[in-house]
């Protein structure tokens, strides 16, 4: 009985050990499908980490090159294209050759001078100044006018206000603008421009009556304005603004 029991027990133990060994071999063995699943999981983890890193460097954060390892590449020298300053000036149509000579004298100190660009800026200044004067906007005039012209404009505004008069004005546009004089003296450039503009303008007294102009009629207005700018030194030329220094009626 004991011998039979021991034999059965031994057989059971052998079967159990064999089962355990088989189970361990199965659990410890990784199939091709398992390898592929693991690789896919690692790939997703790497992609998630890369997206998180990309998000952390986006938005308001800008990666700057490190001075010790990643020096900033030098910018390529700008290419000079288009006609030269002298060519542009000589191509600008004038009635008086002295205008071309004066523009060339200015360009000798300030090579950035371009007649067409200058006229575009002068046109914008003309509209701003005419509109600011009509509105009585002294602040809008201050940075665009030389001292003498500013004093004259503000005196006229003050006189108009003292009489209780206002100006109702609509700036229609500039029909024509041309450079009629140009020179440089003691490092100060001066360029005179003849403007032909279209305005709708009327002056109203304190009783509300129109005393000058016509609120329904477009009128052609011709002005000759002289703009000036110091170009004597590099520091002076760093200020690109021209100021109105003289006004006159056409002859």
Query: Does residue 2 lie in a domain region?
Result: no
What's the maximum distance between 2 C-alpha atoms anywhere in the chain?
Answer: 146
Q: 159-209 pLDDT, tens per residue? A: 999 999 999 999 999 999 999 999 999 999 999 999 999 999 999 999 999
Q: What is the model's pLDDT at position 199?
A: 96
Q: How far is 97 from 128, CA to CA, in rounded Å?
A: 30
Query: Does residue 196 lie in a domain region?
Result: yes
| pLDDT band at residue 12 under the 50/70/90 scheme | low
Long-range contacts formed by 58-66: CB under 8 A, 24+ apart: none
Query: Does residue 185 lie in a domain region?
Result: yes
What percentage of the chain has pLDDT greater than the value 70? 67
Query: Does residue 67 lie in a domain region?
Result: no
Residue 185, token pair as written in the block: 């003296």
Query: Does residue 4 lie in a domain region?
Result: no
Mean pLDDT of the region 97-125: 96
Distances (CA, A) of 56 to 44, 46, 59, 61, 85: 18, 15, 8, 8, 49
Query: Does residue 24 lie in a domain region?
Result: no
Contact between 89 and 191 under an 8 Å Cβ cutoff? The reply is no
CATH number for the domain harbouring residue 235 = 3.10.450.240
What's the number of domains the chain is made of? Answer: 1
| pLDDT band at residue 36 under the 50/70/90 scheme | low
Question: Using the 8-state DSSP alphabet, how is residue 145 labeled?
Answer: B
Range of the domain at 107: 87-248
Q: What is the model's pLDDT at position 244?
A: 98
Residue 246 has pLDDT above 70, yes or no: yes
Where is pLDDT greater, at 112 or 76? Answer: 112
Residue 64 has pLDDT above 60, yes or no: no
Mean pLDDT of the region 51-71: 37
Query: Does residue 241 lie in a domain region?
Result: yes
Where is pLDDT greater, at 235 or 33? Answer: 235
Residue 18, token pair as written in the block: 């064999």
Query: Does residue 31 lie in a domain region?
Result: no
Q: DSSP alpha helices (H): ranges in the chain?
A: 2-28, 32-56, 85-91, 97-109, 115-135, 138-142, 147-162, 234-237
Mean pLDDT of the region 26-30: 47
Q: What is the model's pLDDT at position 76?
A: 46
Q: How far is 238 from 245, CA to CA, in rounded Å?
A: 20
The pTM (predicted TM-score) of the whole model is 0.67
Contact between 140 and 132 under an 8 Å Cβ cutoff? The reply is yes
Q: What is the model's pLDDT at position 155?
A: 98
| pLDDT band at residue 250 under the 50/70/90 scheme | confident
Averaged pLDDT of the chain: 81
């Amino acid at each position: 009985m004991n011998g039979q029991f021991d034999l059965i027990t031994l057989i059971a133990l052998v079967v159990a050990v064999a089962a355990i060994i088989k189970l361990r071999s199965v659990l410890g063995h990784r199939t091709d499908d398992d390898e592929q699943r693991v690789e896919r999981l690692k790939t997703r983890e790497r992609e998630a980490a890369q997206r998180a890193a990309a998000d952390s460097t986006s938005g308001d954060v800008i990666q700057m090159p490190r001075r010790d390892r990643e020096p900033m590449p030098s910018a390529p020298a700008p290419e000079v294209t288009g006609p030269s300053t002298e060519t542009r000036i000589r191509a600008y149509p004038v009635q008086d050759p002295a205008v071309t000579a004066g523009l060339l004298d200015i360009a000798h100190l300030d090579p950035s001078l371009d007649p067409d660009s200058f006229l575009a800026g002068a046109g914008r200044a003309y509209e701003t100044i005419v509109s600011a004067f009509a509105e009585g906007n002294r602040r809008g005039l201050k940075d665009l006018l030389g001292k003498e012209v500013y004093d004259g404009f503000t005196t006229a505004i003050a006189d108009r206000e003292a009489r209780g008069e206002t100006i109702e004005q609509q700036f229609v546009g500039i029909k024509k603008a041309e450079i009629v004089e140009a020179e440089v003296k003691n490092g100060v450039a001066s360029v005179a421009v003849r403007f032909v503009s279209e305005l709708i303008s009327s002056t109203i007294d304190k009783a509300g009556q129109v005393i000058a102009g016509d609120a329904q009629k477009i009128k052609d207005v011709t002005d000759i304005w002289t703009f000036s700018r110091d170009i004597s030194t590099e520091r002076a030329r760093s200020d690109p603004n021209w100021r109105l220094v003289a006004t006159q009626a056409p002859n």
